Structure 1
């Protein structure tokens, strides 16, 4: 199978793990042909670091006829505009989350892609990792009976410590806890329980302005405006009948994630959806579970699939195989648009003091097959 050539737009911090995996883990299907950034020095540095043939401008990258997929790693505000430019240039596009900052932009991207017969993909792709794929199989095989409830907690360190070079982006819409970290949890919930039909939410900012607290930060002592909610609580009603509670905040010190699925016959403790592997358990029955899959002996709750390490980019690789085989990609634009719809619905519910019904439709993404060999996604 011929490799799919990729052009990367955005060479900031997140590009490092993408480029590492694209050139070392998924290089059986992906070939990075060029990188581009508004700061040319960043593109040149990444090209040298990962032995990429070209560091160029965005316009030059989009004009390259050999590039089939644009990997969009820009800031959230630029996601939709860059996605539209890539599609207009005849490229498939895979973007970092959030998919867009409003529904109109999201729908415009999806409509343009459909009109041109192009695929759109979007992070997060952690639901394709070993941890969540194992959970999906456990639920499907009935180990916890019928899932009826879930609890998701995303409590992160405060966003104004100044440790991230672009920390101010975490105080704006798109970098806020619901739009920044929420997609990992919401995508995982949709992958396990199906689409959401209704949300009820509360969102607030505890402070209008914050002061950078880290003396090592070049912005130490600076006061920055808080533009987005930093504390969010929501109830999600799924079409399946399950109900989930969600708490997301960036007002605490430390990182305290939790995701649990409650079923009529057991409860499933899910690995952190921000990662690809991690421990999982069904209290009381770990030693009894037997999962049938090729060439592995089961003694407790196992990880039934590959990709348990940091496999960021697996959704991009899956989309490349989809392009070659004509099937649907799993980390799709429709899935990301549904997650965006949920997030915006929570904000709207808080503003209007009412339930918000989710209008977007999406199919639960197909699970990865058992026995999938590491470094292959051609199924």
Structure 2
């Protein structure tokens, strides 16, 4: 039997003036082996979610500052990063994305480093990365700045998710590091569609397409899926956001694709992963609002193994009682269910992502939890 992965845990208790929460996170990371990563003179990407404007469940900049300072102490050159979103909102292009991050408190002065939107101004600055052993994705479309980094660190707000069941480390990496075309590939079969009511027939999509897929007729566009190769360039150029990706893949396949995109990101370079299990909202931080937590705050986790990390965090949440006043009670949550994520989103199966990630060799679902 292979050796279990190590996942390190610390709760949120700080009963003494000798240590605050940022210091406790730093101690957790160093105990977990963060100091063993060679960062001297190297570019270090710290992947996190800056929060959609209006959402208050995202991780605060204070947590990012801890990671940034540790990277600098080891001679690294850190930057905070995320990729643009596929949907319409406050983070669909780099300018709006940076503005949203600044509004939510992420600046070079609060975090100690610069912010880089990894897939560029319009979400199409990407690198095609082969997925070894991929069943659904041959090559993942990853934001260029993520792949340019020498070292990769994920800093994740662990929570629920309406499509994947839970939003953990793998979701933060796999979906979060995909360019807009990469996100489209994960959510559907890779072919966008056009909302006729929103289309103004400007022809920008037709000009950018190398395959003649967008067809303009009677002042409206339709996309010929026989010609479309799913590059997603048209999504970035549509001025009215009429072009969109249909969520036509099953939720299980979505979870599998997230695992495969994660493999593309982490393969071949040093990585380290941190998850904070707090403000456990039922839905993604991509929402412009956040509902009440479905479980109480638990603590902070760190590991070199992203699969073991997600499993440990999920186990910790599932073991908690449902939070009174949350949507679980609105839905008539049955305490015998035994899975808060499943209760919140009955159509999802978060285990699928971890099972597929383990098959891909990303890590192990078996772990030893070491409490500091």
**TM-score normalized by the length of structure 2:** 0.33
Could you state the TM-score of these two structures normalised by the residue count of structure 1? 0.33
Point out which structure has higher relative CO (alpha carbons under 8 A, 6+ apart): 2
